[in-house]
Structure 1
Amino acid sequence: MAKIDENMSLEHIPLAIYNELVDELNKNSNWQVLACCVAEHLGYQWNAWLQSLEQNLSTTKTPADNLLFELNIKMCTVGILCTLLRDSELGSVLSVLHHPEPAIIVKHPSDDMECNSLEISFGQHLYLSCKATGIPPPSYQWCHNNIELQEQQSHELDIIINSCDQAGEYNCKILQITKDEETVNSVLLTKSVFVNISRMPVFIQQQLPPFLEVKEGEDFIIKCIAHGHPKPCYQWFRDNTSLEGETSNVLHIKQFSSKYEGKYYCYINNGVNEVITEKSYIMMDLPREKAIAKIALIIANGNYENHKCLETPKNDAAKIGNLLKDIGFKVMCFINLSREEMRNAIKVFSQVLTEGVYGLFYYAGHGFKMQESYMLAVDAPTHYLRTNAICESELLAILLQNDPALLVTILDMCQTVPPKEYNPHIHNEVPKIEEYKSRKNLRNLVQAYSTSSHRPSYERTSSKYGLYAIHLSKYISKNIPITKVFEEVGKSIDKQLKGTERNQIPMFALTITKPFRLTDAIYKGNSSPMLNKLNKLIAFSNKSFEICFKRTDITAKCTISLFMEPYLNVIKVSVHNLEDLEVNFFNSEDVTPNNLFQDKNSKNECWIHNPQKCQGLIISISKNGTHIDVIREHVENYIPLILKSINNN
């Protein structure tokens, strides 16, 4: 029942009630809701109707005033206004004109359901709704197992199920509070809905760290996070032995010592399935080594003159080289070297492998095994002998002579024996064995191989990278002991391989006794003369200069850059500012094999392999197919100096 006569026109509403009515309509834009309801009844365009109500406003005249004025003109009474407010569900405004009415639940959460229970899976939304009427309008508070849910105070509940704890009873508490919010008139509870969470397999949300170093005497904690329904159960293991009493998702070891080192993992099950976390290698945090310098020599042989060409070595070597640069290595990287070029590059490398220096040698290409491992140069003849290749003992004899602090050699190649029917002479060849020595009893050597003796090493035609390089690149720049790098590479490959590729079994051998890491820091201070010399040898920056075609007096810009990082022996030559002319490049003298390449799709650039052999680059310009001028440019003057050191001429 209305507080005042329902037949009273709006203009006669007592001033105090009128002002309160205006205030409530202006709150939260309630006037717009009422105006839209009126527009629907009268057939108005609601947007134009709303705009008209917002005109001619002042400090004393509001949109609500304008709306009530328009309703009064249209002979609206208090009773009609109460009906409009009820239709608009504006209970707070209606309470200004109407006496209180007790709250009534008109819709329970279970009304639209066949029964009062739901089964929901993880990740799904739980959506429930209810409805109550009354004056003043009731408020809502959703509850779960009789506990109020924070920030769930609308007539709708919409939450995502992501925990087993969310199963149980849901209902809504309906509260009717006086307008001054001091007195609760009534409290009603809707009918309950019971939520069951579907049985769900365990899945691991947070894995263990792959490696963890702990100082002696300190505590360490590792944990995994898993979800599933029913709740998962946990059991921790170290080196495949269960740890008694460790049955939570957190493992806490106090006062760590070497006896606790090992591989930890957690077995998890919930009756639906079972899973095992990744293994975490927990090791002692030992004092760190430091290097005077860290230097790498990387060689990728793929374009063989007399043997099957390989696609992936150039990508493998580039990836490994760039990763080593990221952890502080100075990198000498070359592609497609002859035997003499390989030997010369190794000699230059050996000169800087002095005491305190970390050295790393990586080779990707063809190789074979005859008592020891041999790397095959790109100029090897069809029926090659051992003398046409670089053997591992020769490599070590050169690199170890100055006692580097650490030497790592990685041979990413086949270790198969050349077949007698194809290459019989190599089996009759008397091998020359190089003796390699170190004054420090070789306590500084790691030898790694992409495959074991007499086994192949694979590259996949569908992959940009070779199999071994893919897995080596995952670990070579990680901050872990060098021994762990190759352990993890082997495990990673073994985990992936199937079928015939099981023939590729990586291996490594080592004689080190210190906790070397490829990420070890470098001493700050003055570099040795040999290191300064190396910096000058491998230094390179893009060069740009003008070239002038004298006959036509045409000037252009020439830029020399590396064709592919981090290779030092392949440069790109680009000519600019000749948009309407055709540019072609030629060697000034015949070079065998040809080392100059020009992409048909590129009108103004070429790339040169082993530019130190170039005796001048001929740059020719044409227009509409007619030659108009030519120039000879000595690009070999702009290349890294180290290329002249490895030149076999």
Structure 2
Amino acid sequence: MAKIDEDMSLEHIPLVIYNELINELNKNSNWQVLAVCVGEQLGYQWNSWLQSLEQNMNMTKTPADNLLFELNIKMCTVGILCTLLRDCELGSVLSVLHHPEPSIIIKHPSDGMECDSLDISFGQHLCLSCKANGIPPPSYQWYRNNMELQEQQSHELDIIINSCDQAGEYNCKISQVTKDGKTVNSILLTKSVFVNISRMPVVIQQQPPTFLEIKEGEDFTIKCIAHGHPKPCYQWFRDNTKLEEETSNVLYIKQFNSKYEGKYYCYISNGVNEVITQRSHIMMDLPREKAVAKIALIVANDDYENHKCLETPKNDAAKIGNLLKEIGFKVICLVNLSLEQMRNAMKVFSQVLTEGVYGLFYYAGHGFKMQENYMLAVDAPASYLRKDAICESELLAILLQNDPALLVAILDMCQTVPPKECNPDIHNEIPKVEEYKSRKNLRNLVQAYSTSSHRPSYERTNSKYGLYAMHLSKYISKNIPITKVFEEVGKSIDKQLKGTERNQIPMFALTITKPFRLTDAIYKRDPSSMLNNFNNLIAFSNKSFEISFKRTGIVAKGTISLFMEPYLNVINISVCNLEDLEVNFFNFVPIKRNNLFQATGFKQECWIHNPQICQGPLVVSISKNKTPIDATLLHIENYIPLILKSINN
């Protein structure tokens, strides 16, 4: 019932009530809601209708004043206005004109449902709604299991299910409070909806760290987070041994020492499925070493003259070389070396492997086993002897003579014995023994092999990388002790090899006495003359120059660059500004095995493998319509990396 006569015209509403009515209509743009409702009933274009109400003909008039004025003209009474406000659900405005009415629930959350329970999955929205009428308008508060849900004060509930704890009984408390907020007229409780979360498999949301270093005596924790329904159960393991009573998602270890080192993982299950987290390698954080310099020699042999050519060594060596550069190594990367070139490269490399220097040697190519491991150069004869290859003891004899702080030698090759029907003489050959000595008793030496004695090393068909290099590249640049690098490589390969590939069993041997890492920092001090000389040997940047053809007076621009990074011994030469002419390149002095290659067509460039000083200059010839018109000599020895002069002497 209205507080005043329902037949009263709007202009006769008492001033106090009128002003309160205007204030409520102006709140939250309530006047617009009423105006749209009136406009629809009168057939108005409501956009222009609203704009006309907002036009301020009098600075003291608000849109609500204008609206009531228009309604008054149209003979609207208090009773009609109350009906309009009730239709618009503007209870707060209606309460100005109308006596309080107790709340009545007109819609429960379970209305329209077959039963009062609801099954829902993780990631889905839970949407519930209720509705009540009353004057003043009621307020809403949603509950789960009689616990108030924060920020859920609308008649609609919309939340995302992302936790098992969200299952339970949902209902809404509807309260009606007087306008002064002091008196509670009524409190109603809706019917409940019981939410069940569908069974969901365990999904790991957060893995434990892959590697973690802990100082001795410190406490540490590792954790994982998983979701699923029912709620997941956790069980921690170390090196496949169950850790009793460690059944939460957080593993806590007090006063760490070496006995706690190992691989930790968590087994998680919930009756729907079971999963295992990734292994977390926990290690003792030992004092860090520093290097005077870090140098690597990388050799890839794949284009053999008398043996099956290989597919992956070139890619393997480039990947390893680039990863070593990322962690601060100076890298000599060379491809397809003869026996003499391999020895020369090792000698150049050994000169800088002095005290305090970390050295790494990586070889990918053909190899064999005859008491020792032998690396096969690209010019090895079809029926080779041991003297036609470089054995591991010779390699170490060369590289250890100046006592580097650390030497890592990696042989990515087969270790099978040459068959007697192909190499009968090698089985009768008396091997030459290479003795390698060191004033430091060969400490801090790591020898790693892609496979073990008398076993093959595989390339997969259509694979860019060999098996060993593929897994070595995962760990060689990680900030972990060098011993752990090769442990992880072996385990990683063993997990993936199947069938005959399981004949490839990586191995390594070491005499490490310090916690070396390939990521160790380098001393910030003036480099020695030896290191400066070495840096000059491997330094290279693209160079441009002019090429003059005297007979025709033509001057072209030439550029020398590396043909394929990071290899230093394949040089690309290109000529510009001769678009209408054909350019050809020739060796001034022919060599036994051609090392100059040129693209077909009018591409004016060539590349040279192992350019040798003894070959003399390069002949650059120009033709027009296939008729030679001029030629000149290009002395490329002035532009190639200096190390090529050393290994090709």
Q: Is the 8 A contact 1:321 1:566 kept in 2?
A: yes
TM-score normalised by structure 1 residue count: 0.90
AA matched with 1:587: F
Matched with 2:457 is: 457
Q: 1:77-476 counterparts in 2 under 5 A?
A: 77-476=77-476
Offset at residue 489 of structure 1 (A):
0.7
Q: Is the 8 A contact 1:57 1:63 kept in 2?
A: no
Matched with 2:640 is: 639
Matched with 2:502 is: 502
Offset at residue 535 of structure 1 (A):
1.0
Q: Is the 8 A contact 2:542 2:559 kept in 1?
A: yes
* Structure 1 Cα separation of the partners of residues 628 and 71 of structure 2: 90
Offset at residue 265 of structure 1 (A):
2.9
Gaps of 5+ in 2: none
Q: Is the 8 A contact 2:596 2:608 kept in 1?
A: yes
CA 1:216/1:83 → structure 2, altered by over 3 Å: closer, same or farther?
Answer: same
AA matched with 1:234: Y
AA matched with 2:230: P
SS at match of 2:566: coil
Offset at residue 508 of structure 1 (A):
0.7
* Structure 2 Cα separation of the partners of residues 419 and 453 of structure 1: 15
The farther-off stretch of 561-570 and 508-517 is: 561-570
CA 1:41/1:464 → structure 2, altered by over 3 Å: closer, same or farther?
Answer: farther
* Structure 2 Cα separation of the partners of residues 601 and 173 of structure 1: 84
SS at match of 2:638: helix
Q: 1:452-601 counterparts in 2 under 5 A?
A: 452-547=452-547, 557-575=557-575, 581=580, 584-589=583-588, 590=590, 593-599=593-599
SS at match of 2:325: helix
Offset at residue 259 of structure 1 (A):
2.9
* Structure 2 Cα separation of the partners of residues 417 and 2 of structure 1: 108
CA 1:185/1:311 → structure 2, altered by over 3 Å: closer, same or farther?
Answer: farther
CA 1:283/1:6 → structure 2, altered by over 3 Å: closer, same or farther?
Answer: same
Offset at residue 640 of structure 1 (A):
1.7
AA matched with 1:560: I
Offset at residue 170 of structure 1 (A):
1.4
* Structure 2 Cα separation of the partners of residues 70 and 559 of structure 1: 87
Q: Provide, for residues 575-630 of structure 1, a one-character-per-residue CA deviation record: whole Å limited to 9, x for no partner.
A: 5566x646645234345544444556994554443345674455566788887776
AA matched with 2:160: I
CA 1:94/1:481 → structure 2, altered by over 3 Å: closer, same or farther?
Answer: same
CA 1:559/1:53 → structure 2, altered by over 3 Å: closer, same or farther?
Answer: farther
AA matched with 2:137: P
* Structure 1 Cα separation of the partners of residues 362 and 305 of structure 2: 22
CA 1:512/1:35 → structure 2, altered by over 3 Å: closer, same or farther?
Answer: same
Offset at residue 352 of structure 1 (A):
0.8
* Structure 2 Cα separation of the partners of residues 38 and 272 of structure 1: 58
Q: Is the 8 A contact 1:585 1:617 kept in 2?
A: no
Offset at residue 269 of structure 1 (A):
3.0
AA matched with 2:538: I
The farther-off stretch of 624-633 and 406-415 is: 624-633
The farther-off stretch of 477-486 and 45-54 is: 45-54
Offset at residue 28 of structure 1 (A):
3.5
The farther-off stretch of 362-371 and 58-67 is: 58-67
* Structure 1 Cα separation of the partners of residues 39 and 335 of structure 2: 79
Offset at residue 59 of structure 1 (A):
5.2
Q: Provide, for residues 496-532 of structure 1, a one-character-per-residue CA deviation record: whole Å limited to 9, x for no partner.
A: 2222221211111111222211112222212122111
SS at match of 1:505: coil
Offset at residue 358 of structure 1 (A):
0.9
AA matched with 1:435: E
CA 1:169/1:309 → structure 2, altered by over 3 Å: closer, same or farther?
Answer: same
* Structure 1 Cα separation of the partners of residues 62 and 610 of structure 2: 84
* Structure 2 Cα separation of the partners of residues 427 and 3 of structure 1: 119
Offset at residue 397 of structure 1 (A):
1.1
Q: Provide, for residues 316-353 of structure 1, a one-character-per-residue CA deviation record: whole Å limited to 9, x for no partner.
A: 21221121112221111112222222111111111111
SS at match of 1:517: coil
The farther-off stretch of 616-625 and 540-549 is: 616-625
CA 1:595/1:27 → structure 2, altered by over 3 Å: closer, same or farther?
Answer: farther
The farther-off stretch of 257-266 and 467-476 is: 257-266
AA matched with 1:637: N
CA 1:135/1:527 → structure 2, altered by over 3 Å: closer, same or farther?
Answer: same
Gaps of 5+ in 1: none
Offset at residue 477 of structure 1 (A):
1.3
Offset at residue 464 of structure 1 (A):
2.2
Q: Is the 8 A contact 2:122 2:161 kept in 1?
A: yes
AA matched with 2:345: A
The farther-off stretch of 318-327 and 76-85 is: 76-85
SS at match of 1:188: strand
AA matched with 2:403: D
Q: Is the 8 A contact 1:415 1:457 kept in 2?
A: yes
Q: Is the 8 A contact 1:312 1:466 kept in 2?
A: yes
* Structure 1 Cα separation of the partners of residues 537 and 29 of structure 2: 76
Q: Provide, for residues 100-159 of structure 1, a one-character-per-residue CA deviation record: whole Å limited to 9, x for no partner.
A: 332222222211321111222333322222222223332222211111112222222222
Offset at residue 554 of structure 1 (A):
6.2
Q: Is the 8 A contact 1:582 1:604 kept in 2?
A: no
TM-score normalised by structure 2 residue count: 0.90
AA matched with 1:522: I
Q: Is the 8 A contact 2:164 2:230 kept in 1?
A: yes
* Structure 1 Cα separation of the partners of residues 76 and 556 of structure 2: 86
The farther-off stretch of 430-439 and 543-552 is: 543-552
Offset at residue 40 of structure 1 (A):
4.1
* Structure 1 Cα separation of the partners of residues 389 and 306 of structure 2: 14
CA 1:50/1:624 → structure 2, altered by over 3 Å: closer, same or farther?
Answer: farther
* Structure 1 Cα separation of the partners of residues 94 and 577 of structure 2: 79
* Structure 1 Cα separation of the partners of residues 137 and 625 of structure 2: 86
CA 1:107/1:346 → structure 2, altered by over 3 Å: closer, same or farther?
Answer: same
AA matched with 1:384: Y
SS at match of 2:426: helix
* Structure 1 Cα separation of the partners of residues 115 and 190 of structure 2: 15
* Structure 2 Cα separation of the partners of residues 112 and 368 of structure 1: 79
Q: Root-mean-square deviation (CA), in Å?
A: 3.1
Q: Is the 8 A contact 1:583 1:619 kept in 2?
A: no
SS at match of 2:231: coil
* Structure 2 Cα separation of the partners of residues 215 and 417 of structure 1: 47
SS at match of 1:114: coil
Q: Is the 8 A contact 1:581 1:621 kept in 2?
A: no
Offset at residue 405 of structure 1 (A):
1.2
Residue identity (%):
83
